[in-house]
Amino acid sequence: MYIWEKPDWPAFTWDEASLARLVAQASREQGRLLGKMEALGFELRGEANLRTLTEDVIKSSEIEGENLQREQVRSSIARRLGMDVEGLVPADRNVEGVVEMMLDATSNYSQALTEERLFAWHASLFPTGRSGMNKVSVGQWRDDSNGPMQVVSGPVGHEKVHYEAPPAGRISDEIEKFLLWFE
């Protein structure tokens, strides 16, 4: 059974008392980090921010099986932030798209998350309308014309299905619920 097939989907519950201590500890550590960052000079703060954003983009991409070149990511971020950094290299369009999306998500976090914004991120990730040799329907919800969306591994003909997404017909309603919850 996939998570979206559970009867209580997406109305999950949690024990607030159990989480409160962990959230408070994370908040304290965040405050300590911010205090240390304030003590750094402007140049060191910028470099720390550049390193953190670079790691965020690289690690997030690794989750999806994408291994981006660290120097390309660093260079793309530095250019977009207007930083004067030595050793900038050209970045591939897929790196530029991921960086554009991540900077929007992290820099404009107070803006509403909308269907339009999600589609803009999608367009940033797939500017050519392709993922490798596969055509991607950019800026719209997927359909099931090629079967359900699945996360698989293994050789062709012997794939193992790790996850199957909800049917395409449910996506619009599911996203609407998520966006309401998120706001």
pLDDT in tens, 76-95: 999 999 998 888 999 999 89
Cα radius of gyration (the chain): 20
Quote the pLDDT of residue 132: 80
Tell how strand 160-164 and strand 150-153 pair up: antiparallel
Average pLDDT, the chain: 91
Q: Which residues of the chain have pLDDT under 70?
A: none
The conformation of residue 7, written as its DSSP 8-state character, comes to T
Q: What is the DSSP string of 37-90?
A: HHHS-HHHHHHHHHHHHHHHHHHHHHHTT----HHHHHHHHHHHTT---TT---
Which helix H or strand E contains 98, and what residues bound it?
helix 93-107
